[in-house]
Amino acid sequence: MEGNVLRVNMNEYLPLRDVVFNTLRQAILKGELEPGERLMEIQLAERLGVSRTPIREAIRKLELEGLVLMIPRKGAEVARISEKSLRDVLELRRSLEELAIELACQRMTEEEIDELEQAQKAFREAVDGKDVMLMAETDEKYHEIIYQGTKNSRLVQILNNLREQMYRYRLEYIKDADKRQILLIEHDNIVKAVRGRRVAEAKAAMREHIDNQEITVSRNIKEQWPET
């Protein structure tokens, strides 16, 4: 862990505990803190120049997100991405996203569909720029517009709760440069189906989108961590 440099990006609008949480979360997602790496409160506090309290609070939140694992008599460590956790999350996401795109196809206004097309444009620009974190953020924004287009606040809430657990897999998928053009095509197909109010086509496109993610990330997990 000593080889990686962690930097706290101070935000005057956020409490220190949230700044520390965001710093550690980004470090895990970017791979600066690697799977299996122990998270020592004292060392992290020294490196980030903070007390142990916000570190402890951040680790507790990261455990809830599935990014950190608490090991008895050993302490906290960065969780490995397991094929089982991927499958559990994506099974749920597949069903919810199919429902979301069905409702969005019927309920989105023309202005919201225009916004979806703009989100796809931003995602394409991020892909062209090869900025992985920006790709993940713009991909997330694209799906968020679909969620809001359902006009179903309960469904939006459930999908948003799942979003944190999905972020790591989303990032892992986007890291695979060979899949980025496929992602763009899948997004385009979804937008076209929504624009034409073709519900069955939109649901099929979304299902393919999620299935391809599961196949790719599952393969990557087996290559990186064969024991999982």
On the question of a common fold for 16-78 and 83-224, the answer reads no
Q: What is the largest CA-CA distance in the chain?
A: 57
- HEC string of 53-78? HHHHHHHHHHHHCCCEEEECCCEEEE
Give the mean model confidence (pLDDT) for residues 27-44: 90
Angle between helices 180-195 and 132-149 (to 10 degrees): 20
- Structure token digits, residue 47: 């490196």
The chain-wide mean pLDDT, for the chain, equals 90
Whole-number percent of the chain with pLDDT over 90: 64
- For the chain, the domains span 16-78, 83-224
**Strands annotated E in the chain:** 68-71, 75-78
The answer to whether 151 and 109 have CB atoms below 8 angstroms apart is no
Average pLDDT for 77-105: 92
Helix (H, G, I), strand (E, B) or coil at 51: coil
Burial 105-138 (b: 16+ CB within 10 A, else e): beebeeebbebbbebbebbbebbeeeebebbbbb
pLDDT per position as a tens digit, 205-225: 999 999 999 999 898 888 776
Q: What is the CATH number of domain 16-78?
A: 1.10.10.10
Q: For the segment 123-146, what is each residue's pLDDT rounded down to a tens digit?
A: 999 999 999 889 999 999 999 999
Residues written for the chain? 228
Alpha-carbon distance of 90 to 84, in angstroms, equals: 10
State in words which class domain 83-224 has. mainly alpha
Q: Does pLDDT of 85 surpass 90?
A: no
